Structure 1
Amino acid sequence: MSRPLPKVVSQQDWQAALDQLLVKEKELTRARDALNAERRKLPMVKIEQHYSFEGPKGTASLLDLFQGRRQLIVYHFMFGPDWNAGCDGCSWVADAMTHPAHLLARDTSLVMVSRAPLEKLEKYRTRMGWSDAIPWYSSYRSEFNYDFGATTQAGEKHGASVFIRDGDTVYRTYYTGARGVEYLGTHWSYLDLTPYGRQENWEQSPPGWPQTEPYGWNRRHDEYEL
């Protein structure tokens, strides 16, 4: 038996149906832009607790994860200490992660954090063929996962937390989990989570937010002066 297929119509009928759908897609895009603008107006909470992570270059603090940049996105990758492999769904997210150069050009770092020991993370990274361009840290000896909802009594949870720093003071600005991470992958989708957004002057952002002309800052990933 052949597989089901969409209805076959004339070119004219197809174009008419497409035009109707594109109107709805444009409405969705504008609604998403408005939602992103609301996200940039969210308040934030100061991080008082000290957290310690283990990474390829040794022990790091939450402030170190920023790598000197203003904004930080942490993907909470589900990988329990007693697991032999990382979560398959989180692995999909990692497979889709953008080239970090475009985020770095917007003063934003992207890292992954899991509760499994660093040795397991590195072994799994090798198995998956992921580069070390996006750092992966272990919070095994820290309360980080528990405090930020990535580990609960029910077990490990995935999600993305966004932070901003003012000097050495760190604040949490946003969190999403469950299906909220499904659309992540491009540098646009990650920047949309941050307080400063894409930092382009068409965005509705609070006064004083950093902004430039669109299509003026972007480069090929090997052309940025980072």
Structure 2
Amino acid sequence: MTAHAIGTRQEWLAARLALLEEEKALTRRSDELALRRQQLPWVRVEKEYRFEVDAGEAALKDLFKGRSQLLVYHFMFGPDYLAGCPSCSSIADGFDGIVAHLENHDVAFWAVSRAPLTKLAAFKKRMGWTFPWASSAPGDFNADFSASFTPEQQYGSGIEYNYRREAPLPPRADRGSAPTIESRTTPDGSTVFGTSTGTDPATYARERPGVSAFVLENGAVYHTYSAYARGLDGLWGVYQWLDRAPLGRNETGAWMRRHDEYGQG
């Protein structure tokens, strides 16, 4: 039997109306924060980044595809991965439906990863996705926008992710250590998802999820915004739905799988 409170319809309605006031306040606060994002200063992108795309080689300017704004999702798919991160794959399941709307609102959209384009294309076909996906290998784009890191950073100075510096990992000989990624809500995420991508936890955790925004004005590209970790929650469709389900996220471990893997045991 459930231990949750049981009430009358009148009691439920009174509690729901009280909650509604808080939800409205949160919505207004969210609108305020969206405006503050737009008011951040722009930083000119001086480096000439190159990407591998289906049509060949492309510059950052080319990713705009004639539009003035560009949104990039930093998809965790490193060169050593055999498959994309399950969490990023869950987020990406919602991309196809929004691309047309963004593109018709003067906003280009791309996923970007460090894996070679052949790997990305094969995984994209497996998942049935159609959104644009570019490979940034072997350039600095992911590193410069805090989405990829080196072993030297991981074990030496520590990774600076989500505007905070993480403590270095113990020496590599300590096989019992597994890095924790802040965006994961369960401590076993790096181990479970690392195995799922065909890598070890440390290799898996050298890639990180994020979103970055750019604007093209008078021929110059400017970086306007980046968010990481829990800053991506609002873009994650399944969590937005679970937050409205009776038991919420209800996570006791790294449960998420790629959409074609559920029911496989």
- The residue that corresponds to 1:214 in the other structure is none
AA of the residue aligned to 2:19: L
Q: Please, which moves more after superposition, 122-131 or 168-177?
A: 122-131
CA RMSD of aligned residues (A): 1.6
The structure 1 segments of at least 4 consecutive aligned residues displaced by more than 3 Å after TM superposition are none
Q: How far, CA to CA, are the matches of 1:104 and 1:24 in structure 2? A: 34
Query: Residue 34 of structure 2: which of 33, 36, 42 is its match?
Result: 36
Q: Indicate which of 79, 100, 106 corresponds to 1:81.
A: 79
Q: What TM-score, normalized by structure 1, do the two folds share?
A: 0.77
- Tell me the equivalent position of 2:123: 124
Q: Which residue number in structure 1 is paired with residue 90 of structure 2?
A: 92
Find the aligned partners of 1:68 and 1:5 in 2 and give their Cα distance. Answer: 56
Partner of 1:15: 13
Of 40-49 and 99-108, the range deviating more from structure 2: 99-108
Q: Report the Cα offset of residue 167 of structure 1.
A: 2.9
CA distance in 2 between counterparts of 1:75 and 1:147 reads: 14
More helix per residue: 2
Shift of 1:137: 0.2
1:177 corresponds to which of 220, 225, 228:
228
**What is the aligned partner in structure 1 of residue 52 from structure 2?**
54
Q: How far apart are the structure 2 equivalents of 1:130 and 1:180?
A: 24
Work out which of the residue numbers 130, 149, 153 in structure 2 matches 1:152. 149
State how many pairs are aligned.
183
Deviation at 1:185, TM superposition (A): 5.2
Tell me, in whole angstroms, the C-alpha distance in 2 between the residues paired with 1:68 and 1:86.
29
SS in 1 for 2:83: coil
Q: Unaligned stretches of 5+ in structure 2?
A: 155-205, 238-265
> For residue 141 of structure 1, what is the amino acid of its counterpart?
P
TM (normalized to structure 2)?
0.66
Deviates more, 1:71-80 or 1:90-99: 90-99
Equivalent position amino acid for 2:136 in 1: S
Counterpart of 2:217 (choices 166, 171, 175) is 166
Structure 1: distance between partners of 2:233 and 2:127: 20
Q: What corresponds to 2:244 in structure 1?
A: none
CA–CA distance in structure 1, aligned partners of residues 226 and 18 of structure 2: 34
Q: Partner of 1:114 in structure 2?
A: 113
Shift of 1:69: 0.2
Shift of residue 5, structure 1, vs aligned partner: 5.8
Q: Output the CA distance in 1 between the equivalents of 2:48 and 2:101.
A: 29
**Worse overlay, 109-118 or 122-131:** 122-131
Confirm whether residue 138 of structure 1 aligns to residue 135 of structure 2: yes
Q: Displacement of 1:6 after TM fit?
A: 3.5
AA matched with 1:69: R
- 8 Å Cα contact 2:90/2:236 also seen in 1: no
Any idea what SS the aligned residue of 1:34 has? helix
Rounded to whole Å, the distance in 1 between the matches of 2:93 and 2:119 is 18
Which secondary structure state, in structure 1, belongs to the residue aligned with residue 98 of structure 2?
A: coil
Structure 1 residues 25-77: Cα deviation after superposition (integer angstroms, max 9, x where no partner): 00000011111111111001001110110111111110000001000000000
Following superposition, the deviation at residue 96 of structure 1 comes to 2.1
